[in-house]
Amino acid sequence: MASVETVKVEPSADLENEEEVKFVWGRKRGIGGKRKEVQFYESFTYDDVEYALYDCVYMHKEGQLPYIGKIIKIWENPDKSRKIKVHWFFRPSEILYHLKGVKVAVENEIFLASGEGTGLANVNPLEAIAGKCNVVCISEDNSNPQPSEEEVKMADFVFYRAFDVGKCSILDKMDDKVGGLDGMCLSSLVKYVFNRKVSQKASHVLKHASDQNGDKNAVEYQATTKESFGLKALNDLGTSKASHLDGKIDVDAQSSLVRQDALQRETNVSRVNKETTKKANSAPGEQNSHDVSRVAKAAGKLSHIVGKSDVNVQTSPVRPDANDSRVKQQSTMKGNPAPVQIVNSTATTVVQNTISEENACCKINNEKDDKKVNKPPINLVEAGETGKSPKDLGVLEDRPSKRIKVNGSVTLSEDKGVNSVEKSTVCRNEKKVLGTSAVPSEERKKSVDSKLSGGLDKNMKIRKDSAALDSRPSKKANIDARKVQEDRDKSNMLGKRADNLGKLPKVSTGTSPKEVERTEGKSFEVTRRPVAESSKWFKAPPWEEVMQTANEQGALILLENLNPEYTSGEVEDIIWHACRENCTTKMVQRTAFSSPYSGRALVAFKTREGAERVTKKLADGCLMVSNQRPLVASFVSLPKTEGNPTSLAGHLCVDKLRLQLQREMREAVSTSHCSQPNTIEYEMANEWRLLQARSDSWWNRLYKQQKEDLTKITSGLKRK
């Protein structure tokens, strides 16, 4: 065995002293190489964690979630450089594109690389290892020792399928073709793909002077496929639903820690015990040194990282330092010890980067913020967005409560890969909104010439009700009051009476009119309206005209809380049956941010009086449609178009080149293209997609919340 040389390890792991990471070779395996100069090994101990052949490990990837791989070869070159050959696993997020239509079995499923081509396996410096990983094979193949339920639960990852890197497809069965190495045959499969029956590590703890110089490069992972997948993962950050690793709680972490240690067989048993207890104890402590809530989420992964950490009892901030030194080793491109600057981002150490699951990449080098995991993908930083404040990971817990909270501090909680609105800014905006609009509404109040005297009373009543209903701070009441003001103001339009333009119902049917008696409190069925005789002679003018005319007259109403599935004609029928008024209606088409359950319709009447009548009726009484939805009617005036905007926010062009652009426009060249990945434009585009994704999530949450609110109230209805 190798000679035993003890090296005194400095207890205070200075940040600069990266040489202090302990390394010890394990059992030798054989000699190889052209001139018999390469020594193969079966195991080694790195940073007090023992690794053996066919163990699964995390491999550092700068700025991203670490890769997962299986060690299939370990050796030392004559120049003392230590290498391992790693057979890769793919996370779902790395091959999202090829997972279309494929269902991921469990959230922590990964795929074994198979087939031929780049991305199958790579040689890497041993120092690129970021930690041990517990991967359990749940393949139902006969030769696979089936793991117990416990083991599966405790595993970091499971796999039973393979991903063929050549064909870019998923293989459901583990056949002999997995991996093109070493003449794969079933026995090899058994040997290193399937679960091993006994952990055959017999490590010898040897203090061995380790030269920590040499190339401490980052993972030299050649496969461009992985790069592009990484980028794709970036794109799909906001949208991908392949969320894996919701955090296991601390309890699990500790128990898995203990279990892991139990598996490791050390000659020095007492040392194991000390380590175990220390880790178990220190785990919560160390975790507390970072953002608490985030930790709770990712404790499962944390356990492994902790497992490899420096166990020197004397060192005070144990883990961060050790890992910082790791950061410097692996993530710098140069061979020199990296400047301390990198380490400034102690909070965002490598470890934490591996923790934060949803980020496909976290910045190790570039980020200046401490204590906050950075959501935006790395290309944002490269675009020089240094001024950008870190986006909180937290999720908007309660949509309406955004109005209440004044502090911007957001505690990180369960997230689904989504940025939240920074609450402080939201509240600031909201305050601004209130502030600025308070003034005009005051003015408008004075000039109210409400024609609906009855409506005015109603509004007062509503306002009182809202004050009573709302237990929330007065901000909400203000908003209601404002809204009510606006309604009144809209009804304030001084419209002239217009002659009948002979607007006809759009739907002209030949069905015989069905007269339905309408009595208070009795329900009636809405069927086709009776058609005026003259309908056969006139052609209905287009909706735009109708709408504009009604708008000018003040005869345009907005109906809300309709079933979005209704068509325009059905709404017209409703109005007719309920109020005996003819009208022309257009259901507002749904867009990206329309409410999914409250449909809206613009209703145009021939006369303003007709509109008023209907509005009054609907406001005073309650017209329940399908016994669930009281219609809400309000006057509306279309927002004036102060000239259509000529460009959309986000369409940029360099001023100097503007002339060129104009020429293009004039020549009506349709400029459309897909963006290429290595341009500034691409990065900016990704920023936009991120914003789009965020907006989507805001809307989703808002509507979800609103729906809940509504269902709660609706359940109070007695007659269903």
For other proteins, the binding residues in 501-540 under the rule CB under 8 A are 507, 509, 518, 520-526
Interface residue with other proteins among 213, 429, 474, 700 (CB under 8 A) is 429
Interface residue with other proteins among 239, 282, 289, 366 (CB under 8 A) is 239
What's the min distance (Å) between Cβ of 56 and other proteins? 30
12/627 with CB nearer other proteins: 627
Size of the site for other proteins (CB under 8 A): 127
- Per CB under 8 A, 493 contacts other proteins: no
Burial of 280 (0-12, 13-18, 19+ CB in 10 A): middle
Pairing of strands 135-137, 157-164: parallel
For residue 481, the SS3 value is helix
- Tell me how many degrees the CA angle 437-441-442 measures, rounded to the nearest 5: 115
Instruction: Write out the two tokens for 50.
Output: 């023992």
What's the min distance (Å) between Cβ of 422 and other proteins? 10
**The one-letter amino acid at 326:** R
Q: Which of 87, 86, 84, 81 is nearest to 37 (CA)?
A: 81
> How far apart are the C-alpha atoms of 504 and 89, rounded to whole Å?
67
Residue 181 dihedral angles phi and psi, to the nearest 5°: -100, 145
40/699 with CB nearer other proteins: 699
Instruction: Write out the two tokens for 641.
Output: 């178009």
**172 Cβ partners below 8 Å, 6+ apart?**
161
Q: How many CB atoms lie within 10 A of CB 179?
A: 24
> How far apart are the C-alpha atoms of 207 and 45, rounded to whole Å?
10
What's the min distance (Å) between Cβ of 481 and other proteins? 11
What's the min distance (Å) between Cβ of 14 and other proteins? 36
Using an 8 Å Cβ cutoff, are 402 and 427 in contact?
A: yes
- Per CB under 8 A, 56 contacts other proteins: no
What's the min distance (Å) between Cβ of 676 and other proteins? 9
User: Which parts of 29-48 interact with other proteins (CB under 8 A)?
Assistant: none
Instruction: Write out the two tokens for 353.
Output: 């980067």
CA distances in angstroms from 362 to 65, 187, 230, 286, 626, listed in the order given:
8, 40, 12, 20, 51
224/288 with CB nearer other proteins: 224
DSSP sequence for 407-456: ---------SS-PPPPHHHHHHHHHHHHHHHHHHHHHHHHT---S-HHHH
What's the min distance (Å) between Cβ of 669 and other proteins? 9
* Dihedral (Cα; 338, 207, 135, 166), 10-degree rounding: 60
Interface residue with other proteins among 626, 660, 662, 700 (CB under 8 A) is 626
Interface residue with other proteins among 639, 659, 666, 667 (CB under 8 A) is 639
239/289 with CB nearer other proteins: 239
Q: Which of 678, 693, 680 is nearest to 652 (CA)?
A: 680
138/557 with CB nearer other proteins: 557
**392 Cβ partners below 8 Å, 6+ apart?**
372, 410, 412, 419, 420, 422, 423
What's the min distance (Å) between Cβ of 483 and other proteins? 5
Interface residue with other proteins among 656, 659, 666, 667 (CB under 8 A) is 656
Instruction: Write out the two tokens for 96.
Output: 């999202």
207/388 with CB nearer other proteins: 388
Using an 8 Å Cβ cutoff, are 685 and 650 in contact?
A: no
Interface residue with other proteins among 589, 659, 666, 667 (CB under 8 A) is 589
Q: How many CB atoms lie within 10 A of CB 658?
A: 10
Pairing of strands 67-76, 38-41: antiparallel
What's the min distance (Å) between Cβ of 525 and other proteins? 5
User: Which parts of 158-197 interact with other proteins (CB under 8 A)?
Assistant: none
- Per CB under 8 A, 273 contacts other proteins: no
CA distances in angstroms from 434 to 424, 478, 637, listed in the order given:
15, 8, 22
User: Which parts of 384-423 interact with other proteins (CB under 8 A)?
Assistant: 384-385, 387-388, 399-400, 421
Tokens 């004075």 locate to 446
Instruction: Write out the two tokens for 638.
Output: 């279309």
User: Which parts of 559-588 interact with other proteins (CB under 8 A)?
Assistant: 560-561, 564-570, 573-574, 577-578, 586-588
> How far apart are the C-alpha atoms of 273 and 251, rounded to whole Å?
18
Instruction: Write out the two tokens for 502.
Output: 């002979």
Interface residue with other proteins among 3, 270, 512, 647 (CB under 8 A) is 647
| Choices 63-71, 107-115, 192-200, 555-563; region in contact with other proteins by CB under 8 A | 555-563
| Choices 26-34, 118-126, 228-236, 267-275; region in contact with other proteins by CB under 8 A | 228-236
Q: What is the CA radius of gyration of the chain?
A: 34
What's the min distance (Å) between Cβ of 245 and other proteins? 23
Interface residue with other proteins among 558, 583, 603, 611 (CB under 8 A) is 558
Interface residue with other proteins among 310, 581, 636, 697 (CB under 8 A) is 636
User: Which parts of 676-705 interact with other proteins (CB under 8 A)?
Assistant: 680-682, 684-689, 691-692, 694-695, 698-699, 702
User: Which parts of 432-471 interact with other proteins (CB under 8 A)?
Assistant: 433, 462, 465-466, 469
Count of residues in the chain: 720
29/613 with CB nearer other proteins: 613
Q: What character string, x for contact with other proteins (CB under 8 A) and - otherwise, covers 335-374?
A: ----------------------------------------
37/709 with CB nearer other proteins: 709
User: Which parts of 82-141 interact with other proteins (CB under 8 A)?
Assistant: 97, 100
250/480 with CB nearer other proteins: 480
108/585 with CB nearer other proteins: 585
40/597 with CB nearer other proteins: 597
